[in-house]
Structure 1
Amino acid sequence: MANTSGFKIKGIEELNQVLAGFDDKLGAQVLDKILRKAAGPLVRESKRLSSNADVTGETTKSIGIIANRRNNSITVGPRRGNGFKGYHAHLLEYGTAPHLIKAKAAGGLLHWAGGAATQVQHPGSAAQPFMRPAFDATGTSMVESIKDQCREIIESGFKSVYR
């Protein structure tokens, strides 16, 4: 089909060349590196905040980056398994309501330092959030870090074509 618009865009071939090169420069490994670098402040801040509420220290040790290879994304939060023991992190973050704890076996007893009973009333615990406040404190800087890193890659792609 002929060009009937009466004008031609200069540089479109060069633009296509630059955009084709981004497949390698913004591949899964590079994006993972960008996301991990941006998430660093969130990991540090959430560890700092969790240490105030975490009596055992296990939740604080477990906070880190969890990779999701299926969709090339990451999650920051408490990890479970493989030596990490962040199993009770949600109880710290959101708190617990008062509840009754019963022995599992019929006729069984619950044992603690002061004695034994078939059931105990747990008073509940107040929420001591650490993930949400950490995200609120670092979210803007994380987005800026991702934008800056992507901008550098894009600008270097254009500079390599337009020298």
Structure 2
Amino acid sequence: MVRVTADVEWEGDTPADLARDLDRFGELVVEEVNRALEDLALMVEREAKQRAPVDTGTLRASIGHVVEQIGAGFARAVIGTNVEYAPEVEFGTGPHTITGTPLRFTADGETVFATTVQHPGTPAQPFLGPALHAVEDDINDRLREAVRRAERRV
């Protein structure tokens, strides 16, 4: 969570002027935070792409982001991938059974046929979580600065 505090000095003539300026400030905060969210989402995306393990490059190429408006004055940045196997890469898998009709593979130089195989699991290769953690300080700093920019623009 980002906490922003500010000392406000206001120069105006009437309560109506104050109300107008507060409304304007709210609009500017939304605008500046949305701009910052776009930049921050791109930073996390780039970091995740650098950290993603590469075999064919499909996973790395699929990492993207979108900034969504989720209500009046609220937005969120979503960074991720639509590749089906991404969670297994990020978090790993436990031991599991692979079932096929039939499976054919090579073990110890010999071709083996089976309808089930016990897989020992795959270790995690986190890329999204560490990417977010790597830019955490930037996120806090840039969101604070977005509010300060809005304050200067009122």
8 Å CA contact 2:89–2:124 kept in 1: the answer is: yes
8 Å CA contact 2:28–2:153 kept in 1: the answer is: no
8 Å CA contact 1:54–1:92 kept in 2: the answer is: no
- Number of corresponding residues: 136
In structure 2, the partner of 1:151 is 148
**Any stretches of 5+ residues in structure 1 without a counterpart?**
1-8, 81-85, 158-163
- The aligned amino acid for 2:119 is H
- The aligned amino acid for 2:148 is R
SS at match of 2:98: strand
8 Å CA contact 2:33–2:146 kept in 1: the answer is: no
Q: C-alpha deviations, 1:112-146, integer Å up to 9, x for none? A: 57553211121211111111211221011012112
Counterpart of 2:87 (choices 76, 87, 90) is 90
Q: Work out which structure has the larger RCO, using CA pairs closer than 8 Å and 6 or more positions apart in sequence.
A: 2
Q: What TM-score do you get using the length of structure 2 for normalisation?
A: 0.74
In structure 1, the partner of 2:40 is 38
- Matches of 1:75 and 1:92, distance apart in 2: 19
Report the CA distance between 1:30 and its aligned residue: 5.3
SS at match of 1:120: strand
In structure 1, the partner of 2:102 is 109
In structure 2, the partner of 1:62 is 62
Change (3 A) 1:44 1:75: same
- Matches of 2:144 and 2:126, distance apart in 1: 28
In structure 2, the partner of 1:18 is 21
RMSD: 2.5
8 Å CA contact 1:92–1:127 kept in 2: the answer is: yes
- Matches of 1:15 and 1:152, distance apart in 2: 19
8 Å CA contact 2:32–2:147 kept in 1: the answer is: no
Q: C-alpha deviations, 1:15-74, integer Å up to 9, x for none? A: 3221121354344x6543321112222111111011xx2312111111111344434322
Could you list the structure 1 runs, at least 4 aligned residues long, displaced by more than 6 angstroms after superposition: none
- The aligned amino acid for 1:133 is P
- Structure showing greater radius of gyration is 1
- The aligned amino acid for 1:64 is G
